[in-house]
Chain A
Amino acid sequence: MGARRSRLELVFDILLSIQNKGGTIKPTHLMYKSNLSHKLLNQYMDELLQKQLIIINEEFHKKRKSPSKVITLTEKGSVFLAEYRRMREFTDAFGL
């Protein structure tokens, strides 16, 4: 089993999972992709919504009567991902 992820790493994993799915993902898929429990994911989702790194939209399907929720990565979220990648590169390069 890998080392415990820090708070920032968790946020990065969540946002990266959304980005890898083309910028939009269903909550259930996000839970599996980011390897988080439902409770923990909801906690982080509230924080990410507050910081405007993600937004929640509703999608309508022909076969379904009610709309389903989807999570979308915002521009701010994309910027965070880029900054975090630079941070990781700096950490690796300077041996921190």
Chain B
Amino acid sequence: MYQLFFTPSWFNGYDLLFEGISLLVALLIASYSWKLYKVSHENRYGYFSFAFILIGLSLAVKMFTFEVLYSSPLRDGVVQVLGPAVGQGLQFADLFYRAAFFLQMVVMLGAWLLIYFISQKSRERLSKYYEVSQMALFVYLILLISIVGNFKYFVFYLTSIVLLGMTVLNYYKNYLNTDKNPNAWRVMVAFMFIMLSNMAFVFVFKWSAMYALGEILLLMGFLLLLHAYRRVTRG
């Protein structure tokens, strides 16, 4: 049987807590970036805010899906609501989890891609026409990867690792270009933790405990982002 979820039973619920915290951090950063966009009218702040909203949305979808998995009453409720829409012939559970996972993947990959583009400095970007065509190519690849990832889940995590790895490099350049700004360093390390969490998720099929490690690394990444955000906004 195709297996989407590898949570060890002793970790049930903790992953939801960790992701809830990460979701709050993502929304906090998104809201502050949106506020800067409203003041400055510079698109980069708007795109950055949108990227973190996408991260928040992906985490929310994952949390909802896992909550349905863990909680029988919620599962029964979802079946009652969505079952008639799906129809008698199809296996509802399989469709629900695949659809949720697909949505989670598309949105998260979109967010990593957007952050990667934003973290590139404007002089390294191509001219507008090529930038649009490059983005269209990446959107196509994200959709393709998300479809394939539904059958081979680690494709999603491998793609995330590649995108996050390139983003970490961009943030390292940013750290050097900002005269070794300590907050820039924190942001780089935060994304490194998020990248490492995706590396852990690749191996959950071998050891289910890697899922717990991945969740802890993901939480550490977001807590470091929160720390950088607090240092910046406190002045």
Contact = CB atoms under 8 A, between A and B. Distances in A.
**Chains A and B form a bound pair:** yes
Interface of A: 6, 8, 82, 85-87, 89-96
Contact of B40 (A87, A93, A95): A87
A91 B44 CA distance: 10
Contacts of B232: 86, 89-90, 93
B45 interface: yes
A90 to B, nearest CB: 5
B171 interface: yes
A91 B229 CA distance: 11
A90 B233 contact: yes
Given A93-B228, A95-B171, A96-B118, A87 B39 contact: yes
B235 A92 contact: no
B23 interface: no
Nearest to A95: B174
Contact of B233 (A86, A91, A92): A86
Nearest to A93: B183
Nearest to B233: A86
B48 A94 contact: yes
A93 B178 CA distance: 8
B109 interface: no
Nearest to A85: B235
B208 interface: no
Contacts of A8: 39-40
B36 A90 contact: yes
Interface string B103-122: 00000000000000011010
Interface string B162-201: 0000000011001000100101101100000000000000
Given A95-B171, A96-B45, A96-B48, A89 B183 contact: yes
B36 A92 contact: no
